[in-house]
Structure 1
Amino acid sequence: MTSETSYPRESARTQRYTLGLPRDVVVSPDGRRILFLRSRSGTDPVTCLWVVDAATGTETLVADPAALLAGDDHDLPAAERARRERAREAAGGITGFATDAPAGLAAFALAGRLFVADLTAGTTRELAVAGPVFDPRPDPTGRRIGYVSDHRFRIADLAGSWHEPAGTAGWHEPAGTADDTPEVGWGGAEFIAAEEMGRFRGFWWSPDGERLAVTRVDDSDVQRWHIADPARPEQAPITRPYPAAGTPNAAVTLHIVGVADGRTEVVWDRPAFEYLTDVAWSAAGLICTVQSRDQRQLQVLDVDPTTGATRPRWTDTDDDWVELVPGVPRLRPDGALVTCADRDGARRLLLDGTPVTPADLQVRAVTTVDGPGIVFTANRLDDATDIQVWRYHDGDLTALTTAPGVHRAAAAGGTVVIGTATLAEPGTRWATRDGVELTSHAAAPTRRATPTLHFFGKRRLATAVLLPANHDGSPLPVLLDPYGGPHGPRVLRSHNAHLASQWFADQGFAVLVIDGRGTPGRGTAWERAVHHDLATAVLDDQVDGLHAAADELGVLDLSRVAIRGWSFGGYLAALAVLRRPDVFHAAVAGAPVTEWRLYDTHYTERYLGDPAAQPEVYDAGSLLPLAPDLRRPLLLIHGLADDNVVAAHTLQLSSALLAAGRPHEVLPLVGVSHMTPQEVVAENLLLHQLDFLRRSLGPERVGAV
């Protein structure tokens, strides 16, 4: 197989077969139009904005970045580059958009410039405003656009007739929303909100478009870290505020800002509830969600937009932590509060505090609160590999999907668009329940994944097993390929989720992907098994799953076992060869957390607590003290531009290994962040790992296909 047609090259060029897929699907409130982003082919990284008529399936290209920019490809604003990194966004072009209330007007930014689209006419124009423009959002009435520029929040007024081919807009900064210090910004999401809470925005319009709720983020007390590019010593390091575990967070406040004038601060007990996790403003009212620093308490607050006063609407507490669930809290039009919380061992949908889903169903996310109907995704508690779409409506709970697979949805106005991925077919198919399909231009993988899913051992560990094509039944060296940690399921009934693992299998390995305790979907106790210990249960389940698979399959050579992983999976891979060299004979650790004191507050303290109060918990989870125990080959890989898991993690472990006289390998990736979107890097990274595994387990014993 030549490099031009190899899986590594193909996967890199297609960004793991995601290019050309419909994404960011939105349904207009009247249910008549479906909005989405998609590039023109499976190798085209530039996404365009499209609209489909939900009744006829007629598709209209609304905005094409190639035409709109006319070759004027300026660098992205720093805020947009940061947003894409936090969202793990590797594509280009239009990577996000927002609409007015009826979804007739959309706004988006390209190269720091502001564009608006008429979604009914299918036309787009640029508004000449002061930039660079970041996160533009129309007000619900479609008269104005709010956006962020550097650290400032601005409002643009739409000017001229809507169908004019070119337009200008007057813009202004609302009174009281400008600070001269660069440590203070208005209208944006701080690092922790975007990286860990899923809150990527910092302003919300009132329903009448006359006021906004706007964040003020003060990073003054947050420690500064410096991300240097060693390959370019002439360039100064990039300085970033990074709140590591146990250190100060950004001070985030919320303000009600009038379009014309006036500013009022929203008041809550900030010392007790340090985190602002969510804001929602609808005709039913303004609510915000706040969370304590130890994450054991969460409150949904009713906000008086005139005075800024708040009162608790709903409170949730947990001895370990309160989980944040995408899509909630929200208010129904009748004012009822839709939330999710762990009750009776499962994450359940709550309506005004009362569970409305059964205790054997684990809610994963809420898609839509549309009138009395609530659309959400969930899985049965005993099987997190199979995710279905459900609707709750006036006391009735209905499964909108039932076929095995991983399903998601967009819904409004009676139209439900389902995204379906299955083990049998590559990619994701988006279609309405009436049969209107969103065309996909994604490349079809030349390699087919053929995993078998098992539930091994007394804990029924979900495990995907992948063997070489046409395997003859002879013993195989084993490669474990997990993520293994919170919020990172890997064993899913989705074909494309297993393509990289299949490629390694076809090089002569039996590949196992095991989701153990701490991974999502299996209920409260399962997820909280990692509280104050991110190592023991996680590693034990990999070992137990391996041995159970060996007993059942009969083809695993337990004298040749390797493990690879990225991010938390990198931590797990390094942990495996350091703690259990009797089981694991080689490891590839990509972007690993090696010392939890170097990772951020919201994630780390949720699981391990305060490092000042519980230093022994952090010591027990650190890889650095284990450096003298290394007896097996270990490859450490890290992007030097990573501002999430900074390269210091790998460098400190490497230094400790060197001091202990333990040979190992380090692969630094110049200019690479926590993602690896660069085509050449992504391709050769897989090939390098394969070479390391063959060398480590014995080249004469690991075949190639």
Structure 2
Amino acid sequence: MDRKTLNSDGFPRQFARSRRFSLGVPRHFTVSPDGDRFLFVRTGSGTDPVGRLWEYDCGTGEERILADPALLVGAGSGAVPEEERQRRERARERSEGVVSYATDDAGRLVVFALSGALWAVRTDGGAPFSVPAAGPVVDPRPSPDGRHIAYVSRGSCHVVDLTGTDRQLARAEGPEITYGLAEYAAAESMGRLRGYWWAPDSRRLLVARADITAVERRYIGDPADPTKPPRAVRYPAAGTANAEVTLWLLGLEGERVEVEWDRKAYEYLVDAGWDAHGPMIAVQSRDQRTVRTLTVDPATGATQVLHERTDPAWVELVPGTPTRTASGALVLPEDAGGTRFLTVGGLRVTPKGLQLGEVLGTADEQVLFTAGEDPTESHVWRHEPGHGVRRLSRAPGRYTGVERGGTVVLDGVTERGPEVSVVRADPDGDGGDGIGAGAGAGAGASYGVIASLAEEPVVVPRPVHLTLGERELRGALYLPSWHQEGTEKLPVLLDPYSGPGMQVAIRARAWFTCVSQWFAEQGFAVLVADGRGTPGRGPAWEKAVHGDLLTPALEDQVDALRAAGARFPDLDLARVAIRGWSFGGFLAAAAVLHRPDVFHAAVAGAPPTDQRLYDTHWKERFLGHPDEQPENYARSSLVGHGHLLRRPLLLVHGLADDNVAVAHTLRFSAELLAAGRPHSVLPLPGATHAPADDGVNENLLRVQRDFLRDALGGFKVPEERTSGE
């Protein structure tokens, strides 16, 4: 392959304009009850940020656009309500236009919001049409029977029929109260992005009310524009008050019943739903050691304990649980003996060593879920009584999916990039032993592929997958494509995340694997490793960081580096740098503070330097309450250790970050300065925790490269490898 192509300076530009190669990728799938068709969202190309609503015909393999924002509201999608902007920030949404939608049970009426306006379209023909609403619309969802649409506007919960007759079911009593929206901790740290749920009979809703009056107020300003007033946000920092969340049963005719549970003991509403057996909710204690599944009496709001999970560290929240099968069998995770099992009706249905990731849904008595035997992969599985569990996806990668009416849509990120395959079961066949992208068609199954319009990266990852050290850390080594073994020593760049909630050493071509390869093409040997605390290796591995988020994570990076250096002599362990963002940024800064004997330079992006400044649910999960266990916060923070810095350090932070506040970096920088420790700070005006500006994202890669090259020195990059720079 041509060196100039591999090392083209065009990669950062491509990375930015493609929004991390997310544009043009099909997502958000909904299969019709008969399995004959399904809906999805996809932008127009790999550089077009505007999402469109599509329908796929499983019989013909044809796609058609149901809604194009450019034809409805003009180019782009215009301004969105502040509540919707916050929802997208929590979801890390990078596109515009139609970014989400909801359907009735038949999959015939589809609703979505554009520029705060309510739109609907019928899949049986006709153009999209606007539905009059009382104000800016957030999170619209049709009733199961398709006769009404619920939505949130200015914190109040509304229901409108298709003629525009609007009813306000719950009015926000003040500016700090919302009905039908997820509060910050739920959306950012619990994975609950919803705040209301329809009853199956379409006559009532289960609605969350969030009162954030007692939550700590923070102010986010724009120092680049001193004439602009700061924005006030409510942020529940560790040890401080959470939002007060209650639940209400709201009838279309005005009925209102409060759901009762011990909110003092269980202040977190983890999830909720309403199926044929009635409403069901999951609540969690503040110390997160207990999660209860409760049934709700829809007439009185009274609750009963259906199940209780406890753990001496914390109860891990598994997406998609709790849920029930058609017979009412409760579907839950169970942690035991180093394995996270799937249980149905109280019985374990998955084998030891298969780690449950997420429950994707149920159909009759079948359960669709994700799980992995190897932490570098995650696959879609199905459990069916009498048939056990069967893996549906085959090729290496990380998958999710949906199933309905005999059709499975497998949404995968494989070693070739994003791949979406459609599997239609033949009622006269058995479906074979396995289905999915990369699998041979089994008996009784037909296949289709949904086109991805995403750009192909000009730098293609070439990882060497590794198992490193005594703890068998999963890692990947990225070497320059032009490097010839034994000809020269390469400086090493560790490129980890290594925190709870994310893995980077995976058998899939994700955006971060492309970035690691790009840094390799710049002259580094790039090593990534997933240490203790990362998901995918079972509960004992995840909870090894309980009480100390720093020591195990840093030890594992050092061990991975030394093990890789012993196997690959071309790695120059006398020149080692580390970079990262968020938890990875925290880890990078900690590396040069505490292990300057190993790490010689670091770039730390949006690092949470003071664990007390982070949110309640996420931080107290690992470190406990700061008033009760202050030593855990001191042990896991960078503040107080600034005097240890001896190596070059670049701190990068978005000034509009409402997740990891810029105060983390500013206070730490002040501490470094007071200790006489030179360092660099790069502020990003207007940037949130996930910077959205293409120019920032493009040049941020180059700034990091140049800083690390200068810090390590001794780079030998032939002219042809930097052509175009």
Normalised by the size of structure 2, how large is the TM-score? Answer: 0.94
Shift of 1:447: 1.5
Match of 1:589 in 2: 604
SS class of match (1:249):
coil
Match of 1:490 among 483, 498, 504: 504
Match of 2:395 in 1: 403
Q: Structure 1, residues 545-580: CA drift from partner, whole Å, max 9, x if none?
A: 000000011111011000000000000000000000
Contact between 1:457 and 1:544, CA under 8 Å: does it hold in 2? yes
Shift of 1:123: 3.1
**Residue 696 (str. 1) matches residue 687 (str. 2):** no
Match of 2:382 in 1: 391
CA distance in 1, matches of 2:105, 2:518: 46
Q: How does 1:290-329 map onto structure 2 within 5 Å?
A: 290-329=283-322
Q: Structure 1, residues 621-648: CA drift from partner, whole Å, max 9, x if none?
A: 1101110000000000000000000100
**Residue 478 (str. 1) matches residue 504 (str. 2):** no
**Residue 414 (str. 1) matches residue 406 (str. 2):** yes
In structure 2, the CA distance between the partners of 1:471 and 1:74, relative to structure 1 (3 Å rule), is closer
Shift of 1:284: 2.4
**Residue 252 (str. 1) matches residue 245 (str. 2):** yes
**Residue 451 (str. 1) matches residue 469 (str. 2):** no
Q: Structure 1, residues 517-554: CA drift from partner, whole Å, max 9, x if none?
A: 00001111110000000000000000000000000111
In structure 2, the CA distance between the partners of 1:388 and 1:302, relative to structure 1 (3 Å rule), is same
Contact between 1:285 and 1:331, CA under 8 Å: does it hold in 2? no
Q: Structure 1, residues 588-613: CA drift from partner, whole Å, max 9, x if none?
A: 00000000000000000000000001
- In structure 2, what residue type is equivalent to 1:192? A
Contact between 1:635 and 1:667, CA under 8 Å: does it hold in 2? yes
Q: How does 1:534-683 map onto structure 2 within 5 Å?
A: 534-683=549-698
CA distance in 1, matches of 2:557, 2:96: 37
CA distance in 2, matches of 1:93, 1:516: 38
Match of 1:162 in 2: none
SS class of match (2:641):
helix
CA distance in 2, matches of 1:372, 1:185: 36
Q: Structure 1, residues 420-450: CA drift from partner, whole Å, max 9, x if none?
A: 3322x23333333521211211111122110
Match of 1:164 in 2: none
Match of 1:684 in 2: 699
Q: How does 1:106-255 map onto structure 2 within 5 Å?
A: 106-121=110-125, 123-159=127-163, 169-174=164-169, 177-255=170-248
* Stretch moving more, 241-250 or 412-421: 412-421
Match of 1:166 in 2: none
Match of 1:522 among 526, 530, 537: 537
Match of 2:447 in 1: 435
Shift of 1:702: 6.3
SS class of match (2:541):
helix
Contact between 1:345 and 1:525, CA under 8 Å: does it hold in 2? yes
Shift of 1:407: 2.0
Q: Structure 1, residues 378-426: CA drift from partner, whole Å, max 9, x if none?
A: 111xx21011111000141111123322222111111111123322x23
**Residue 376 (str. 1) matches residue 369 (str. 2):** yes
CA distance in 2, matches of 1:140, 1:15: 34
**Residue 82 (str. 1) matches residue 96 (str. 2):** no
CA distance in 1, matches of 2:261, 2:214: 20
CA distance in 2, matches of 1:562, 1:230: 31
**Residue 12 (str. 1) matches residue 16 (str. 2):** yes
Shift of 1:361: 0.4
Match of 2:104 among 79, 100, 107: 100
- In structure 2, what residue type is equivalent to 1:419? D
CA distance in 2, matches of 1:74, 1:156: 23
Match of 1:533 among 531, 545, 548: 548
**Residue 461 (str. 1) matches residue 463 (str. 2):** no
CA distance in 2, matches of 1:72, 1:622: 42
SS class of match (1:305):
coil
CA distance in 1, matches of 2:316, 2:670: 36
- In structure 2, what residue type is equivalent to 1:183? E
| RMSD over equivalenced CA pairs, Å | 1.4
In structure 2, the CA distance between the partners of 1:72 and 1:197, relative to structure 1 (3 Å rule), is closer
Shift of 1:73: 5.0
- In structure 1, what residue type is equivalent to 2:675? A
- In structure 2, what residue type is equivalent to 1:563? I
Normalised by the size of structure 1, how large is the TM-score? Answer: 0.96
In structure 2, the CA distance between the partners of 1:693 and 1:72, relative to structure 1 (3 Å rule), is closer
Shift of 1:4: 8.8
Number of matched pairs:
691
Q: Structure 1, residues 195-233: CA drift from partner, whole Å, max 9, x if none?
A: 011111111110111100011110011010001110111
SS class of match (1:449):
coil
SS class of match (2:658):
coil
Contact between 1:114 and 1:129, CA under 8 Å: does it hold in 2? yes
- In structure 2, what residue type is equivalent to 1:616? E
**Residue 59 (str. 1) matches residue 63 (str. 2):** yes
Shift of 1:54: 1.7
Shift of 1:343: 2.1
Contact between 1:640 and 1:668, CA under 8 Å: does it hold in 2? yes
Identity across matched positions, percent: 50
CA distance in 1, matches of 2:223, 2:716: 38
Contact between 2:139 and 2:151, CA under 8 Å: does it hold in 1? yes
Shift of 1:5: 6.0
Contact between 1:100 and 1:140, CA under 8 Å: does it hold in 2? yes
* Stretch moving more, 214-223 or 436-445: 436-445
Contact between 1:405 and 1:420, CA under 8 Å: does it hold in 2? yes
Shift of 1:699: 5.2
Match of 2:438 in 1: none
Shift of 1:71: 4.9
CA distance in 2, matches of 1:520, 1:152: 37
CA distance in 2, matches of 1:141, 1:515: 46
CA distance in 2, matches of 1:693, 1:492: 25
- In structure 2, what residue type is equivalent to 1:468? P
CA distance in 1, matches of 2:526, 2:671: 30
In structure 2, the CA distance between the partners of 1:187 and 1:420, relative to structure 1 (3 Å rule), is closer
SS class of match (2:359):
strand
CA distance in 1, matches of 2:80, 2:714: 45
CA distance in 1, matches of 2:714, 2:84: 45
Shift of 1:352: 2.0
Q: Structure 1, residues 125-163: CA drift from partner, whole Å, max 9, x if none?
A: 11121210000000100000000001111111112xxxx
* Stretch moving more, 526-535 or 338-347: 338-347
SS class of match (1:495):
coil
CA distance in 2, matches of 1:389, 1:84: 26
- In structure 2, what residue type is equivalent to 1:416? V
Contact between 2:578 and 2:602, CA under 8 Å: does it hold in 1? yes
Shift of 1:72: 8.5
SS class of match (2:72):
helix
In structure 2, the CA distance between the partners of 1:195 and 1:553, relative to structure 1 (3 Å rule), is same
Contact between 1:694 and 1:702, CA under 8 Å: does it hold in 2? no
CA distance in 2, matches of 1:404, 1:488: 18
* Stretch moving more, 27-36 or 450-459: 27-36
SS class of match (1:589):
strand
CA distance in 1, matches of 2:21, 2:78: 27
In structure 2, the CA distance between the partners of 1:42 and 1:247, relative to structure 1 (3 Å rule), is same
Shift of 1:55: 2.0
- In structure 1, what residue type is equivalent to 2:384? H
CA distance in 2, matches of 1:388, 1:545: 26
Shift of 1:498: 0.8
